[in-house]
Amino acid sequence: MSSIKQFQVTFDCAEPERVARFWCEVLGYVAPPPPKGSATWDEYDDSRAPEDRGSWFACSDPSGVGPRLYFQRVPEGKAAKNRLHLDVRVGTGLVGEERLAVLEAECTRLLALGAVRVQLLYDGHDSCIVMQDVEGNEFCID
């Protein structure tokens, strides 16, 4: 049996491009060029049936290391807590007040992008901050 070499993380959402561009800023990811035959994403969307316009967007790690993120429009809204979430690892190897300071700085940056702070989890040694993206999907700054 062969091992899996790559995977994609898929988000169900209402506004794929908006959510994708938020995550590009969070992770330093980039949007791919528009599909062949289109000079821009707007041109690509204009070529599609009205009900398909803006139905998906994707972004990827420019270094090629991280997984591709795919965002697809779904008709239903978010109804409960995510069963899966991303941990944005900014405090790896740090503990205590030093770790907390790095997490708080990242939280401030993400709030300016439209994220929402939910809860600080801190036991005096280890910490993380629970947040929500621009559509309410939970993630942690870790």
Map out the domains of the chain as residue ranges: 8-73, 86-141
Give tens-digit pLDDT for 106-138: 999 999 999 999 999 988 778 899 999 999 999
Confidence of residue 29 (pLDDT cuts 50, 70, 90): very high
Q: Residue 91: which of 133, 112, 121, 65 has the closest Cα? A: 121
Rounded mean pLDDT, 62-77? 93
Rounded mean pLDDT, 41-67? 92
Work out the percent of the chain whose per-residue pLDDT is above 90. Answer: 74
Do residues 116 and 129 make contact, with C-beta atoms less than 8 angstroms apart? no
Question: Which residues, 6 or more positions from 133, have their beta carbon under 8 angstroms from its beta carbon?
Answer: 19, 22, 23, 26, 114, 115, 139
Question: Which residues, 6 or more positions from 1, have their beta carbon under 8 angstroms from its beta carbon?
Answer: none
pLDDT at 111: 98
Give tens-digit pLDDT for 85-100: 999 999 999 989 999 9
pLDDT at 118: 97
Tokens standing for residue 44: 């690509």
pLDDT at 120: 96
Edge-first strand listing for the sheet containing 8-13: 8-13, 68-73, 56-59
What is the overall mean pLDDT for the chain? 92
Rounded mean pLDDT, 21-34? 95
DSSP strand pairing (68-73 vs 56-59)? antiparallel
For residue 2, pLDDT beyond 70:
no
CA gap 80, 50 in Å, rounded: 30
pLDDT at 4: 67
